[in-house]
Amino acid sequence: MRVLGIESSCDETGIALYDTEKGLLSHRLFSQIEMHAEYGGVVPELASRDHIRKALPLMQQVLDDAGLTQNDIDAVAYTAGPGLVGALLVGAAIGRSLAWALSIPALPINHMEGHLLSPLLEDSPPDFPFVSLLVSGGHTLLVDVRAVGNYHLLGESIDDAVGEAFDKTAKMLGLGYPGGPALAKLAEQGVSGSYDFPRPMVNRPGLDFSFSGLKTAALNAWHNSDQSVQSKANIALAFETAAVETLVIKCRRALKQTGYRRLVVAGGVSANQSLRQALNALPGKQVFYPAMRFCSDNGAMIAFAGAMRQQAMKPDMPAIFTVRARWPLDELTPPSA
Ligand code: ATP
Ligand code: MG
Ligand code: FE
């Protein structure tokens, strides 16, 4: 079975074709980052309009890359939330119309389930159950994952998502938008131990996170510094170190609580090398990640989640056309036969 995936929840148009026998056949991504950079963040209306411009040409390229035509597609999966409603509607409208025209199923996919399952696209995928750490621009979640669609929320951020904290701190330090990767790069030049920022909420029981205080600590440190390039790098390193250590502490706690040995990390921040190094050092645990190109938003993860669901699904799904700005992961249910 071949599933076309369409991702348009934010500022990336991602299209991919996944084959349940052969794996990922082709994928294309167009990032709108340059367009939004001059505004310092994503402008929703500009995002929607650009998805309209890019989606169909990308889809044609994906089919060409795979040497296939529309008639070779068996199902269409599209991101139905969470995300920007206007942007989601573009992918939903295209996905639904294409599926209707071809008389094939259309599968509304939860974007965070897409991220969560993205490490399973790799060659040696983890078995269930596992703890999932989802670290992206809009979410910081720890999830007990027992099967596709069987998700129990263990903890989440009570304020900023960790990617958002990276971006806001980077912006404050004048590193541009989105600043997560730039801040991580600058941190490589930092001298460790120059600053020591708080590890928020690690002394309280439970698995929730808070990152807004860490961002404020970095801001205060910057204002009280000599504002030199070296100080900036030192602050970037101290921020990254505190964020990473906080995530590692909560992962260790979640693994202990569930008794699982497998940790699966996904979302844009899973590209962070310091985080990967620290998690890989957890004794007695196996840690899984997506390929670097599939950490941030992409169509491959949506095609893959669609394929996982379609394989287990009733043949006639109701043709509901809705998208959701908010859509908690633990409201999902397993695909039922
Ligand atoms: P969500 O998935 O919650 O809706 P999103 O789709 O905007 O949010 P992603 O595309 O998964 O988020 O990830 C983007 C985030 O990842 C940004 O906040 C970005 O700064 C961050 N990020 C990317 N690379 C790195 C890195 N190397 N270090 C730290 N943060 C990073
Ligand atoms: Mg993005
Ligand atoms: Fe995302």
Q: pLDDT confidence of 319, banded at 50, 70, 90?
A: low
The ipTM (two decimal places) reads 0.99
**pLDDT value at 316 more than 90:** no
Identify whether the C-beta of residue 92 lies closer than 8 Å to the C-beta of residue 13: no
> How far from 304 is each of 12, 41, 310, CA to CA, in Å?
17, 29, 10
Residue nearest to atom 5 of ligand 1 (CA): 137
The annotation status of 167 as a binding-site residue, yes or no, is: yes
Question: In this structure, which amino acid lies at residue 336?
Answer: S
Rounded to whole angstroms, the Cα distance separating 21 from 17 reads 12
If one counts every other C-beta atom within 10 angstroms of the C-beta of residue 107, the result is: 25
Minimum mean pLDDT among 80-89, 141-150, 328-337: which range?
328-337
The pLDDT score that the predictor gives to residue 178 is 83
61 and 99 fall within a common domain: yes
The string of pLDDT tens digits covering residues 166-177 is 999 999 999 988
146 and 260 fall within a common domain: yes
Strands of 115-257 (E only): list them: 130-135, 140-147, 150-156
How many domains does the chain fold into? Answer: 2
Pairing of strands 262-266, 150-156: unpaired
222 and 299 fall within a common domain: no
The string of pLDDT tens digits covering residues 105-157 is 999 999 999 999 999 999 999 999 999 999 999 999 999 999 999 999 999 99
Assess whether the C-beta atom of 272 lies below 6 angstroms from ligand 1: yes
Question: String of b and e for 182-201 (b: at least 16 CB within 10 Å)?
Answer: bbbebbeebeeeebebebbb
Domain coverage including residue 72: 2-117+295-331
275 and 149 fall within a common domain: yes
Question: String of b and e for 117-154 (b: at least 16 CB within 10 Å)?
Answer: bbbbbeeeebeebbbbbbbbbbbbbbbbbeebbebeeb
137 and 222 fall within a common domain: yes
Minimum mean pLDDT among 91-105, 296-310, 318-332: which range?
318-332
- Rg of the Cα atoms in the chain: 20
Neighbours of ion ligand 3 (CB under 5 A): 136, 297
Mutate to test the pocket of ligand 1, among 43, 160, 296, 323 (most ligand atoms within 8 A of CB): 296
The annotation status of 134 as a binding-site residue, yes or no, is: yes
The pLDDT score that the predictor gives to residue 313 is 72
Assess whether the C-beta atom of 181 lies below 6 angstroms from ligand 1: yes
- Phi/psi-derived region of residue 125, left when phi > 0, alpha when psi is between -120 and 50, beta in every other case: beta
The annotation status of 138 as a binding-site residue, yes or no, is: yes
Q: Residue 13's closest CA among 42, 45, 51?
A: 51
158 and 49 fall within a common domain: no
337 within a domain of the structure (yes/no): no
The ligand placed nearest to the CA atom of residue 239 is 1
Assess whether the C-beta atom of 58 lies below 6 angstroms from ligand 1: no
58 and 204 fall within a common domain: no
Distance, CA 112 to ligand 2 centroid (Å)? 13
Looking up residue 44, the CATH number of its domain turns out to be: 3.30.420.40
The pLDDT score that the predictor gives to residue 317 is 59
**pLDDT value at 290 more than 90:** yes
163 and 264 fall within a common domain: yes
**pLDDT value at 254 more than 80:** yes
The pLDDT score that the predictor gives to residue 322 is 86
245 within a domain of the structure (yes/no): yes
Question: In this structure, which amino acid lies at residue 235?
Answer: I
Q: What is the mean pLDDT of residues 61-66?
A: 98
The pLDDT score that the predictor gives to residue 239 is 98
The string of pLDDT tens digits covering residues 11-28 is 999 999 999 999 999 999
